Amino acid sequence: MKFAVTGLAAVLAFTVAVPALAKPKPAPVVAAPVPAEVQAAVLRDDALKTNVAYDFLSELTTRFGPRPAGSDSEKRAAEWAAAHLKELGFQNVHIETFPLHVWARRGPETIAITGEFAQPLVGVSLGGTTAGEVEAEAVMFDTWQEFLDSKADVTGKIVVVLQPMAKASNGSGYGRMSGTVRSKGPMEAQKRGAVGFVMRSLSTDGNRFAHAGASAWSDGKGIPAMAISAPDASQLSRIEALQKAGKGGPVSIHMKTTGQFLGLKTSQNVVADLVGSEKPEETIVVGGHLDSWDLGTGAIDDGAGIAITMAAAKVMIDHNLKPKRTIRVVFWGSEEVSQPAGSPTSETGGGAFREAHKAELSNYVAHAESDFGADRINNFALSATDDTGFVTQLGNLLYPLGIYQDTKATPHGGEDSGAMNGFVPAFDLNQDGYRYFDTHHTANDTLDRIDPQQMSQNVAAYTATLWLMANTDVRFKLPPKDEE
Amino acid sequence: MKFAVTGLAAVLAFTVAVPALAKPKPAPVVAAPVPAEVQAAVLRDDALKTNVAYDFLSELTTRFGPRPAGSDSEKRAAEWAAAHLKELGFQNVHIETFPLHVWARRGPETIAITGEFAQPLVGVSLGGTTAGEVEAEAVMFDTWQEFLDSKADVTGKIVVVLQPMAKASNGSGYGRMSGTVRSKGPMEAQKRGAVGFVMRSLSTDGNRFAHAGASAWSDGKGIPAMAISAPDASQLSRIEALQKAGKGGPVSIHMKTTGQFLGLKTSQNVVADLVGSEKPEETIVVGGHLDSWDLGTGAIDDGAGIAITMAAAKVMIDHNLKPKRTIRVVFWGSEEVSQPAGSPTSETGGGAFREAHKAELSNYVAHAESDFGADRINNFALSATDDTGFVTQLGNLLYPLGIYQDTKATPHGGEDSGAMNGFVPAFDLNQDGYRYFDTHHTANDTLDRIDPQQMSQNVAAYTATLWLMANTDVRFKLPPKDEE
C-alpha cells in the first residue's frame, strides 16, 4: 500500500502546517521548523495506515518458511532481506557473518506410549539435545521441584515432568520454566541415570502443538529429550490417575529423536541504517531476529519484530525525513540456539553484534528489540534521564495508541539487543503477550497468527518513539548495576 | 459423580410428589402414577448435574487414544466398553463382528515444497489412498470446479486444489466438499495423468492441523493424495500470487505417504439395551460411533456421541426406571472408512447393524445418532406423527434446555443409524457445530475440546427425549420417499 500523501508532500506539510492539528488558515510566508513531537505524531498516524510491515512479513514467511539458525534458509532470507532493505532506501546495508554450532532435526521424530495405554503422542525434541531411540518405563513428576526433590530411582527410565506454564500478558510464566525444566531438565535426568526426558511444552493453551525450544548444550552426548503438547501431558496425567486408582499398570514410552549438532558453521546479522543528519555517530539500535524455529514459519517469533522495526524506519524514508541521530535496524541471526558454554559462540546473533561493534558502543544512545509477537503494545519503559520532560513527551505521543508508561519497570531490550546491556541504555515497547505462548515455537507460528491492525499499531509506536529519540539531545541512563 | 438423590429415593419421589414442580403439601395416601413428561423433566434436570458422559469419554480416550476402524485399539475399546456397559446395568450387552477392508498409516508421512520456496508443509494422506513417494511440479487450482473445467495438462504433475470450506453452525459447508473434492479428487487427478493430489483440508479454522478423511476406494492402485492444513494452503496461494507477480518460478512438491489397505479384517458394533417393560420389541435405537481417525483420540468424533447416548440411558438406570419400549444403545464400529463399492463391506458399522437386525426393523420405532461433537443441542427434528400433541409435548420438555423444534427439517439420523432410513423413522437432536470442523479429523480432536457443561445439556436432551418416546404409544413416520 502506498501512502495517500507522498513523501515530498508530507515534508511540505511539515514545514507549512500540520493538517491534523491546525485549523485552516493562510500558510505563513516563511517556513517555520516543525517540532519533533509534532512530526512524530504525523508519522505515528501515517504508520497506522500502512501495510509495510505485514507485506514484508508475508513475503518473508511465504518465501522462506522456517529459518533455523545457521541454515541455508536463514542465509538466503538474510540476503533477500538485505537486498530488500537497500531497495526500500536504507543506507549502509550489509551482512555480518559469525560462527555458530548448528543444531538441526534430520527427519521425522516420534513419541508414543507403548503397552497397555499404547497411543501416539505429539512431541518434538528440544534444541541442543541428541538424536536417538529409546523405550523405557516412564516416571512422572507433576512439577520440576517434585523431580528435584525426589529420591526415586530413575535409572534406565524416562523422566516425565508434567508442570504447566502460567498464562500472563507479560509472559512472566515463561522465563522461570525455560531456564529450569527446559534448559536443565535433560542434563539433570541424564545425571540421575535416566535414558530419556519428556516435558510438557511451555504452552499457554490447549491445542495439540508441541513447542520447541533450546535446552542446555549436550554436545551430542545427552539423552533423547522432547516436549510433548499440553493435551498429551494432560493425557499422561489422566493415565497416572488411572494407575493410582488401580486401573492400570506402568506406562512405557518410545521416543525417536533426530536432532543433533552438525558442527561449526556460520550465521549472520543484517544491518541497515538511516544515517543521522546532525549526529550520525549517535546511534539508536532496534530490530528483531531473522531466524526462527524449524516447525513454523517464524511469523510471531520473530519475523514480526524485524518487520515492525524496519517498517517504523521506512515511514520516515517515505516522508524524506532524516533523523538527527542514526537509526540502525538490525535483523539478528540465530537467537533460537544453545551454544557451548565458554566457547566463542556462547552468545550468538546479539553477542556477535556487540563484539563486532564494541568500539562504537559508547556512542550508542539506546537499544530496543521487538520479539514478542505483533499484538498491541500496551506500555513502554525508558530509563529515567535528567530530562524527565522527555519521557512525559513520549508518553503523550504514545497515549493515543493506548500505550502508557510502566514506571516500575527497568527496560532491558530483547534477547539479542540485551547483549549490549551494561554498555548501552535500553528501552522497551511492551506488547500484550497474552496469546504469544499459545503459538510460540510451534508449527502453528505462521502468518495466520498476525493481526495486521495490531501490527500497524506496533509500527506506529516504534516510528513515533524512534523519531522523538533520534531528534533530541537527551541521553538515556544505563540501569543501575544490580539491575542488569 | 454420584446422584444427590439415590435411585430408590428418586423413584419414591416419582410416585409421591415431584419436588421441583409441586408446592409442599401432605403426601397422598395412595401413590398415583406420575405422567411420563413429568418424569422426563426430572430425568432431564438430573442429567444436567451428572458427569457420567464426560467421565466415560475421559477414560475411553485416555485408555485407548485413537481407535481407527478395524484396529486392535478399536477392538480393545469395544471389549472394554461392553464390560463397562454391563457394569453400569445395561442388558443384552454384546459385540457383533463384521468384515472390513482395513486402511492404515504405516509410519510418518511428509509433504514439502522443494526448490525455490523449499519448506515443509503439514499434511496427512486421505483414507483409502495409496502409500508412495513422488516429487513433481504443482499445478494449483483455486476451486474444485476450476480443476474440473480446466483443460490444463497435468500429466506427471501434482494437482493442488486450494478451495476453502465454509463455516456454519449446521456444518453445511462439509457435505458438498467431502463428497466431491475429497472423495473424488484423487481418482479424478489420476485419471488425468497426475502423479499426486493435494487439497486444502476441510477445515473451518486457521490452526495448522491437517484434517484426515475418507476418499474413494482406490484399492492400493491410486496416487499419493494428501490434505494439507489451511495455513499451508494459504501459503501456497501466496506463493501462487508471487509467481503471478513474476517474483518466483514453478513450485515443486515432494510427498511421502504411508497409508494403505491391509486386507480384509474385522470390526465390531457394541449393542446394549434397556429392555422395555411393556413393549420390549418396540425399540428405539440411539448411539454414536466408537471408531475414530488415527490422528486424535476421537473425543468430538465420536467418543462424545457414544458417551452422551449411553449416559442418557444411564440416568434412567440410576433412577431404577424401566421404559415401556426398549431403548437400544449402539456403539457402531468403523464409521470413518471408505470401502469397495458393491462389496459386502461397502456399508460398514451402520450397514452391518441394519443387515444383522433386518428381521426386527419393522418393530424399530425410531433411530438417532449423536455424531457432531458435544456442544449444545440447539434444535430437534421429528417426523410428524398422527398425534401432533406428542411433538408439542417434546418441544415443551426441551425448551428449558434452549432447544426449539426445526419444523422445516426432515430428520435423517447419523451416518450409521441412517443406514436404517427407509425402514425406521429418524429423529435428530442437532448440536451447534460452529466449531466442530475446526477440529474434526485432526490430531487436535482430544478431550480438551469438550465442554463438560454443554455435554451434560446433550445428555439431558437425550434422556428427556428418549423417556418420552419410550413411554408413548405414538408411532413416528418414515420421511416421504423422495426425501431419503
- In SS3 terms, chain A reads as CCCCCCHHHHHHHHHHCCCCCCCCCCCCCCCCCCCHHHHHHHHHHHHCCCCHHHHHHHHHHHHHCCCCCCCHHHHHHHHHHHHHHHHHCCEEEEEEEEEEEEEEECCCCEEEEEHHHCEEECEEECECCCCEEEEEEEEEECCHHHHHHCCCCCCCCEEEECCCCCCCCCCHHHHHHHHHHHHHHHHHHHHCCCCEEEEECCCCCCCCCCCCCECCCCCCCCCCEEEECHHHHHHHHHHHHHHHCCCCCCCEEEEEECEEEEEEEEEEEEEEEECCCCEEEEEEEEEEECCCCCCCCCHHHHHHHHHHHHHHHHHHHHCCCCCCEEEEEEEECCCCCCCCCCCCCCCCHHHHHHHHCHHHHHHEEEEEECCCCCCCEEEEEECCCCCHHHHHHHHHHHHHHCCEECCCCCCCCCCCHHHHCCCCCEEEEEECCCCHHHHCCCCCCCHHHCCHHHHHHHHHHHHHHHHHHHCCCCCCCCCCHHHC
Cell of residue A31, nine digits: 517556513
Q: Return the H-helix or E-strand segment holding B327.
A: strand B325-332
Which amino acid type is present at position B32?
A
Please judge whether A231 and B444 are an interchain contact, meaning their C-beta atoms are less than 8 angstroms apart.
yes
Residue B5 has pLDDT above 70, yes or no: no
Nearest CA in chain B to A108: B108
- The C-alpha atoms of residue B477 and residue B481 are separated, in whole angstroms, by 11
Question: B368 pairs with which residues across the strands?
Answer: B286
Residue B112 has pLDDT above 90, yes or no: yes
CA-based nearest residue to B125, from B232, B260, B262, B226: B226
B 44-63 residues with CB < 8 A to A: 58-59, 61-63
ipTM: 0.90
B 222-281 residues with CB < 8 A to A: 230-231, 234-235, 238-239, 242, 248
Chains A, B: CB contacts within 8 A come to 95
pLDDT tens for each residue of A361-415: 999 999 999 999 999 999 999 976 767 799 999 999 999 999 999 988 889 999 9
DSSP, residue by residue, B356-412: HTGGGGGGEEEEEE--S-SSPEEEEEE---S-HHHHHHHHHHHGGGT-EE-TTPPP-
CA-based nearest residue to B338, from B293, B377, B395: B293
Using a CB-CB cut-off of 8 Å, the residues of chain B touching A110 are 108
DSSP state of B22: S
The shortest CB-CB distance from B446 to any of A113, A208, A248 is to A208
A479 pLDDT band, cuts 50/70/90, is confident
A481 pLDDT band, cuts 50/70/90, is low
Please judge whether A120 and B65 are an interchain contact, meaning their C-beta atoms are less than 8 angstroms apart.
yes
- The C-alpha atoms of residue B300 and residue B39 are separated, in whole angstroms, by 30
A405 near B CB under 8 A: no
pTM strictly above 0.90: yes
What percentage of chain A reaches a pLDDT higher than 70? 92
- The C-alpha atoms of residue A249 and residue A246 are separated, in whole angstroms, by 8
Using a CB-CB cut-off of 8 Å, the residues of chain A touching B113 are 65
Distance between A447 CA and the closest CA of chain B, angstroms:
8
Using a CB-CB cut-off of 8 Å, the residues of chain B touching A442 are 208
Nearest CA in chain A to B256: A108
Kindly report the number of other CB atoms within 10 A of residue B373's CB atom: 31
Chain A interface test: which of B60, B62, B438 (most A C-beta within 10 Å): B62
Residue A250: HSE in the Cβ half-sphere, 13 Å Cα cutoff? 9
Residue B444 has pLDDT above 90, yes or no: yes
Those residues with Cβ within 8 angstroms of residue B207's Cβ, 6 or more apart along the chain or in another chain: A207, A444, A448, B229, B230, B231, B438, B444
Range name among A210-219, B276-285, B433-442 with the lowest pLDDT average: A210-219
B68 pLDDT band, cuts 50/70/90, is very high
Q: Are B69 and B264 in contact (CB under 8 A)?
A: no
Q: What is the structure's pLDDT at A26?
A: 55
- The C-alpha atoms of residue A317 and residue A449 are separated, in whole angstroms, by 28
Kindly report the number of other CB atoms within 10 A of residue A409's CB atom: 14
pLDDT tens for each residue of B402-424: 999 998 888 999 999 999 999 99
The shortest CB-CB distance from B239 to any of A62, A110, A119 is to A62
Nearest CA in chain A to B110: A108
A209 near B CB under 8 A: yes
- The C-alpha atoms of residue A321 and residue A43 are separated, in whole angstroms, by 10
B33 pLDDT band, cuts 50/70/90, is confident
Distance between B443 CA and the closest CA of chain A, angstroms:
7
